[in-house]
């Protein structure tokens, strides 16, 4: 008998594997690691939006969005989760990228993994 909790956990694991494959493909195309800023820029460009319009969706200034996209500013995990919700994307992916950006910026050779509790 499968419980709802174990079914949810299995679905989350499948989604995480799919996201990892998609991220790996993106990294291959970009020639380097995916950052939250690059992910946001890619989503924005894919929707053919200006930084001003996309920043309004995220409820931040266009200057902050520019700084995030260019890697000059990092986003907290909480803010990354808010961005994911506003854009309709998995929170785990955005939070993991935000945490990974912070570790990379600190020169720590660690890899982050995030899953729903």
CATH class of the region 28-105: mainly alpha
pLDDT tens digits, 52-99: 999 999 999 999 999 999 999 999 999 999 999 999 999 999 999 999
Distances (CA, A) of 95 to 4, 7, 40, 92, 113: 25, 23, 13, 5, 10
CA 46 – CA 68 distance, rounded (Å): 17
Domain spans in the chain, listed from the N-terminal domain onward: 28-105
pTM of the entire predicted model = 0.78
């Amino acid at each position: 008998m499968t419980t709802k909790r174990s079914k949810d956990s299995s679905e989350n694991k499948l989604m995480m594997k799919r996201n990892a494959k998609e991220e790996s493909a993106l990294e291959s195309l970009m020639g380097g690691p995916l950052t939250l800023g690059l992910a946001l820029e890619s989503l924005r460009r894919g929707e053919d939006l200006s930084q001003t319009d996309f920043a309004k969706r995220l409820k931040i200034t266009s200057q902050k969005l520019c700084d995030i996209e260019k890697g000059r500013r990092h986003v907290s995990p909480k803010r990354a989760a808010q961005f994911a919700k506003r854009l309709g994307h998995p929170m785990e992916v955005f939070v993991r990228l935000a945490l990974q950006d912070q570790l990379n910026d600190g020169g720590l050779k660690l890899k982050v993994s995030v899953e729903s509790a």
